[in-house]
Chains A and B, each alone.
Chain A
Amino acid sequence: MKRRNWVGPLLVNGILLLVVIIWTVPTFGLLVSSFRARFDIQTSGWWNVFPHREWETVATIDPKALGLDPDGVMTVEGVQGTFEELRAGIQSPGGDTRVTWVGNKRLGTIEVQQQVWTVTWDFTLDNYKQVLLGSGVEAKNPDGTTELLPGQDMSQAFLNSLAVSIPSTVIPILIAAFAAYAFAWMRFPGRKTMFILVVGLLVVPLQIALVPILRDYMALKLNGTFLAVWLAHTGFGLALATYLLFNYIRTMPRETLESAFIDGASHFTIFVKLIMPLSVPALASFAIFQFLWVWNDYLVALTFLGVDPTYKVLTQRLADLTGTFGNQWQLLTAGAFVTMLLPMIVFFALQRYFVRGLMAGSVKG
């Protein structure tokens, strides 16, 4: 009995810790890298920010001063070897000293290196500047020269993402709330048929709509406008929003509404003054769900916003960067974090609502 009390929690927490580490490390590595200098990212792993052992040159010796013969076996700093062996570097028996011949036989020098504990903490904001600004950014090279790097202007994409996401969140909620109220509290012909349509459309994949809607947009000259994307996100999110809000509004006490009717309030007044304020928890949950959905969306933006760089949203710009600068990790890491910034804030600040919205939204296709 005693043994189990001790082993159980340790095992549980141990496995949990392992999972958490595996789940966190990829994001953490990206975050750390985004603050590392351009040159550092390309030449060493991001884990070098942790203490690790690295070779450090402690002395440089001129072989002539020691009177060494490069053609024979030499003895330096406690190691012994021919020129070729020294060129490759010889480690002392203890392993913490390394002696290397640098240069050619005639003019070379001997470097003595020792392994020391070190951290590479050369953090910079240059990557973010380069990603966010529209103008060029001066960056230092490791050899001391400076270089003008073109800016990627993702701040514009950030604004575009906001301009796409906020209306794409509020508009469907507004429209769905009106519809949900009507389904819950009004009697009209076709009510049931219409609601069955809503339920049936919950899982319809949005791919089905892209080609026909794109044709409509071309006919209406809407292609490439924010309006086009708002309407598309509204259309694709509306079924779920209506369904969820209906389920919520339906459960409100009948008496409250009836007394409001007796006081002579119209449906519109009741909706605005009574139902909306009472539905705030449900509205907030869906709003967060939809906002993150739209903010993180790539396919809809790619299809309807098109190729004009002034309108592109963050996910599009980041995908472009991956395509064009696939190995310039200073751009990709910082760029990825720019796109993740707002969702992360929303996530940590409003996690409770987010979880609730997500659970309710689990029927969405």
Chain B
Amino acid sequence: MEQTGAVDKKKAGKVAEAVSWLGRLFLAVIIPVIAFVVIYEGFIFLRDSQAPRWLTALVAIVWGVGGVALLYWVFNGIVERLPDAWTQRLQPFVFVGPAMAILIWYLALPAVRTFYLSLFGRDGPPKGVGFFESFTTDAFVGLQNYVAMFTERLLQEALRNNLMWIVFGSTFSVVLGLVVATLADRSKFEKVAKSLVFLPMAISFVGASVIWNFMYEIRPAEQPQIGLLNAIVVALGGQPFAWDKAVTIAPWNNLFLILIVIWLQTGFSMVLFSAALKGIPEEIQEAARVDGAKEIQVFFKIMIPHIMGTIITTWTTVVIFTLKIFDVVWVMTGGQYGTHVIATQFYRQSFTARNSGYGSAIAIILLITVIPVMIYNLKQFREQEAF
């Protein structure tokens, strides 16, 4: 009797195991199916719905954020239901996989694909032709797009302007940021002053362009000026001036566009320098002052060397930033009056003139210019030995 009972129990245990296994399988299949149906329905709703706008926006937010969380939860659920060894093996890839897939799709592969496109004419490689064959077609132009970049007048102008942007834009925002940070450090009004100088960082480039367009607004001399700069010029007895649109002073009218970005970026470098300056030990400065050093000497001989690392990082960041400047030029002048830069030429060639080969070559030049920074970052990473 006891034995049969044990067997029954064993049987029952097996049945229960089978049921739970079936149950798990069921869950592992059903839950993903439900998840995918929900996500797909959400997509259809968003694409086709005539619902009120606020509702569509709300659904978009919930669907987008919830959908991603749901996908992780579902895939993790599936992997955790596998035998332990497989869970151990696969789980890291559930965690890291989506990030890598997106990074490769959105940045790594496009770099290669853009380079490939840059070797072809305006319509790219012909359709229906294999990868190796495409190099034998007429559409393949080799490095011709790159040659054109450095010989065509408009592109040369863009390169020259970008150089101006990098030299003046980064220098002024870094130096001004350092000056303001140093001054604020010695002032009782540090917080307010830093806040107000930093504020433009929250403003979009398009918004900043409107703000400065208004500053630069020009009216005929006999009318009252409504732009502040021209009002000042006229009040001082001058003639109204077109500032960023003044072709007469080209290429220096670019400086008035650069000024906008200096206005935006100074706060950024100021914040970085401010934090770095706070890290200099008081005693060193005091010791120098006791020894009779002047404030200027303390600044150049002690503070600057101490925050050299921050200066280099900040400078690099601002340079990379100004290298890719697009919005300000696009909104302010659209590249007219001799103000095109690399990024606006990239946009114009790629999307307005629809010359994908030329546009791609410009993008590759942008990529090549940041490669030194990339190498530096990788070297830093190796030295840290975080892994």
Please give the residue numbers on chain A whose beta carbons come within 8 Å of chain B beta carbons, in ascending order: 8-9, 12-13, 15-17, 19-20, 23-27, 29-30, 33, 41-47, 156, 159-160, 162-163, 166-167, 170-171, 174-176, 178-179, 181-183, 186-188, 191-192, 194-213, 216, 225-227, 230-232, 234-236, 238-239, 242, 247, 250, 266-268, 271, 292, 295-299, 303, 315, 318-319, 322, 326-327, 329, 332-333, 335-336, 339-340, 343-344, 346-347, 351, 354-355, 358-359, 362-365
Contact = CB atoms under 8 A, between A and B. Distances in A.
Interface string B197-230: 1111111111101111111010000001111100
Contact of B378 (A16, A23, A27, A199): A199
Nearest to B96: A182
B60 A204 contact: no
A207 B226 contact: no
Q: Main secondary structure on chain A at its contact with chain B?
A: helix
Interface string B105-136: 11111110110010000000000000000000
A362 B362 CA distance: 25
B381 interface: yes
Contact of A178 (B64, B72, B209): B72
B367 A205 contact: yes
B243 interface: no
Contact of B214 (A9, A186, A333): A333
A207 B346 contact: yes
A208 B215 contact: no
A365 to B, nearest CB: 5
Contacts of A267: 91, 95
B277 to A, nearest CB: 13
B317 A362 contact: yes
B224 A27 contact: no
Interface in B23-70: 43, 46-47, 53-54, 56-57, 60-61, 64-65, 68-69
B103 A299 contact: no
Interface of B: 43, 46-47, 53-54, 56-57, 60-61, 64-65, 68-69, 72, 76, 80, 89, 91-96, 98-100, 102-111, 113-114, 117, 176, 180, 183-184, 186-189, 192-193, 195-207, 209-215, 217, 224-228, 231, 263, 266-268, 271-272, 275, 295, 313-314, 317, 320-321, 323-324, 326-327, 330-331, 343, 346-347, 350-351, 356, 359-360, 362-364, 366-367, 370, 373-374, 377-378, 381, 386-387
Contact of B202 (A271, A292, A326, A333): A292
Contact of B68 (A17, A171, A205): A171
B290 to A, nearest CB: 13
Contact of B102 (A41, A162, A238): A238
8 contacts: A17-B193, A25-B228, A43-B226, A197-B108, A234-B106, A343-B202, A344-B199, A347-B202
B205 A298 contact: yes
Contacts, number: 338
Contacts of B207: 296, 315, 318, 336, 339-340
Contacts of A211: 110, 114, 117, 350, 356, 359-360, 363
Contacts of A216: 105
Given A201-B107, A210-B350, A30 B363 contact: no
B210 A336 contact: yes
Given A197-B103, A199-B377, A267-B95, A212 B386 contact: no
B199 A238 contact: no
B53 A339 contact: no
Nearest to B72: A178
Contact of A201 (B108, B199, B326, B381): B108
Q: What 4 A-B pairs are tightest by C-beta distance, nearest first?
A: A235-B106, A167-B64, A296-B204, A179-B99
A299 B327 contact: yes
A308 B86 CA distance: 48
A28 B318 CA distance: 26
A45 B54 CA distance: 38
A199 B219 CA distance: 50
Interface centre among B61, B104, B176, B367 (most CB of A within 10 A): B61
Given A8-B295, A227-B64, A250-B386, 8 more contacts: A45-B226, A166-B64, A181-B95, A182-B95, A207-B346, A315-B207, A339-B204, A364-B317
A182 B321 CA distance: 31
Nearest to B47: A225
B318 to A, nearest CB: 9
Nearest to A339: B207
B99 A20 contact: no
Contacts of A166: 61, 64-65
Contacts of B381: 196, 199
Contacts of A354: 202
Given A171-B68, A183-B96, A203 B204 contact: no
A342 to B, nearest CB: 9
Contacts of A227: 43, 46, 64
A16 B95 contact: no
A163 B61 contact: yes
Given A211-B117, A295-B204, A30 B211 contact: yes
B313 A362 contact: yes
B370 A365 contact: yes
